[in-house]
A and B are shown apart, each in its own frame.
Chain A
Amino acid sequence: MAAATTEAAVRPSRAGRRLPLAWIGTLPFLAYAGVFLLLPTGIVIWNAFKGNTNGWTLANIKALNTGPVRTAFTGSLELCVISSLIGAVAGAILAYAVASGSADGVIRRVYLAGSGVLAQFGGVTLAFAFLATIGPIGFLLHASWYSDFPWGIALIYCYFQIPLMVLVFLPAIDGLRVQWREATENLGGSTWHYWRYVGGPLLAPAFLGAALLLFANALSAFATIEAWEDQIAYVVPQAISTSLISEVGLANAHEGDALALGMIVLVVIVMSCYLLLQRRASRWQR
């Protein structure tokens, strides 16, 4: 009894004496995030408030409220919402189809490998692939609406959005246990009941998270749309490009920083909505 008491008393104090070194493991990550995320973000914000003659100014921020910039932000939002919604829904269905097959079957492996490749297939290569196949003089189909904004471009984006959705959403679907389905049926629930009260709520946070990833993926994409829409700036990354490389006198790097700041704000808003939604959706999991 006495020994047991001593032991109980000693244990916490031994833990307290140990140097708290666990955080060292996170150093590489913090350094990485600091150098490649926080530092650039800080520089962008800092520069967005600087004038071309070194003083501080709000002119760059005010320039965000001009017609062309508003158009670029509207364009970016349209393109991102459309392509991430189509990508998320189609990708989720596809992922479900793949998950319901054999866990180590050939089809699943082919789909995963294919998605892994296609999710990274973007940029000029993708634009040209579409151009050559179903563009204005494509060998398969002569179509011109692929260059329409936003629907045509959104469709091209889906080419990498859907596979990406499959990749990030499949683990969540794999997490659904057959027993839950059986339990629902044993309790007299229909397929609708299962999805409404079990599967849906369970997958909602993962679905929203994946859709957000797709949204961000489309938001920052530049090379694909630049190759198709070389002569018009429809989205914010293109407007930033104009502010950096214009050789006709419209270059203004600080306005470019303000545009980037606008994109950061956009991501923060979307992120916050996501967190709120996720908190609500995952309440029952706690």
Chain B
Amino acid sequence: MAALVKAAKSEGTLNVIALPNDWANYGTIIKDFTAKYGIKVNSIAPSDSSAQEVTQIQQKKGTSLAADVLDIGNSVATASTSLFAPYKVAEWADIPVGLKQADGLYYADYGGYMSVGYNSAKFGTITSLNQLLGSKFKNAVALNGNPTEANAALNGVLMASLAEGGSLSNIGPGVNFFAKLKKAGNFNPVQATQTTIKTGATPVVFNWDYLNTATAVGQPASTWKVFIPANATLGGFYDQAINKNAPHPAAARLWEEFLYSQAAVGGQNLWLQGGARPAEQQAMTTAGTIDQTAAAALPPVTGTPVFPTEAQATAAATYLAANWAKAVS
């Protein structure tokens, strides 16, 4: 570890990509990493998608501008392993087996459950997705992006499918649900951001719970609530991977060590403070290294969580490609 820190410090810089400051506490994580190791973090294209991350490291290959580390969706990670360098962090054993690639080419970093964030001052308490079809939700309900593009949006539709009697292998009922929303005039196609939530233009948003908390959307906790349906508790994790041709290979590995550290100021607890559920949550709870306050603040989950497999996610995307625009336009 000492040798790694030394090598990383002599590189002096780390290129990260697609890490918005308000996403899973990344703003703080980057600041704390720099404060601890004195390594400058160069944050490239914060709002890029996972696919764009992979394109970036291919296009900038061999230059000092290529991203060193990636934070990407699982389907992109599994498709791009030839671009990654295997690396097992010190806490490797604490990452659940189902959440890591055996050789360490990629492994889950943090995740959460699909949720509905909403203005409770305006709508009261939401207890089921069907309520959203009611007339008081006129023009209110938005997804986080286009489900044929964004992972979070695809999972939003998949959650609706589970709640409507579909399954992980059958996203159809979810598409029907949004078609009904559209027909009722409740579907709001505007791009949901902190700003649109603040102004009230998108008062109900389907998104991962860690992006949907009152803190994440910049709303007071008293009027912004997060609802995770008991009959549709859909989980999803993002993955970390190291660029095989990273311009700063040591800094990249040190960054991973920092992200998977269970220290009070380590990636796992920092993600937790951002409302995301870190990959080592189970082990940390057992070991007592978890930030209790942050863990208690997570939105409550009552149902049994389900996680789509790669094949199920691909089937859902294929179905959406053919049916989504038709159903909601």
Contacts and interface: CB of A to CB of B under 8 A. Distances in A.
A230 B329 contact: no
Given A137-B201, A231-B189, A246 B328 contact: no
B21 interface: no
Kindly name the residue among B49, B153, B313, B314 whose own CB sees the greatest number of chain A CB atoms within 10 A: B49
B122 to A, nearest CB: 10
Interface stretch (A208-216, A221-229, A263-271): A221-229
A232 B329 contact: yes
Interface in A205-255: 226-234, 238, 241-242, 244-251
A67 B146 contact: no
Q: Which of A234, A241, A249 has the most CB of B within 10 A?
A: A249
A248 B313 contact: yes
A126 to B, nearest CB: 13
Interface residues of A, number: 34
B5 to A, nearest CB: 33
A233 B49 contact: no
A68 B317 CA distance: 13
B121 interface: no
Interface in A131-145: 131-132, 135-137, 144
A211 B316 CA distance: 42
A131 B201 contact: yes
A226 B191 contact: yes
Contacts of A132: 199, 201
Interface string A95-113: 0000000000000000000
A231 B317 CA distance: 14
B148 A136 contact: no
Interface stretch (B33-41, B73-81, B254-262): B73-81
Interface in B282-329: 313-314, 316-318, 320-322, 324-326, 328-329
Interface size, B (range): 35 or more
B201 A135 contact: yes
Contact of B325 (A136, A232, A244): A232
A245 B189 contact: no
B138 interface: yes
A278 interface: no
Given A144-B139, A231-B189, A246 B49 contact: yes
A67 B326 contact: yes
B76 A247 contact: yes
A71 interface: yes
A221 B156 CA distance: 28
A72 B329 CA distance: 11
A149 interface: yes
B326 A242 contact: no
B190 interface: yes
B233 interface: no
Contact of B146 (A149, A242, A249): A242
A184 interface: no
A240 to B, nearest CB: 11
Most B CB within 10 A of own CB, among A66, A71, A131, A136? A136
A232 B150 contact: no
A41 interface: no
Contacts of B142: 230-231
Interface of A: 66-68, 71-72, 128, 131-132, 135-137, 144, 147, 149, 226-234, 238, 241-242, 244-251
Given A232-B328, A248-B316, 14 more contacts: A67-B326, A71-B325, A71-B326, A128-B195, A132-B201, A136-B140, A231-B328, A233-B325, A238-B146, A241-B149, A242-B149, A247-B76, A248-B148, A250-B148
Interface of B: 48-52, 72-73, 75-76, 79, 138-140, 142-143, 145-151, 153-154, 185, 187-192, 195-196, 199-201, 313-314, 316-318, 320-322, 324-326, 328-329
List of 3 A-B pairs having minimum Cβ-Cβ separation, nearest first: A230-B191, A247-B50, A248-B317
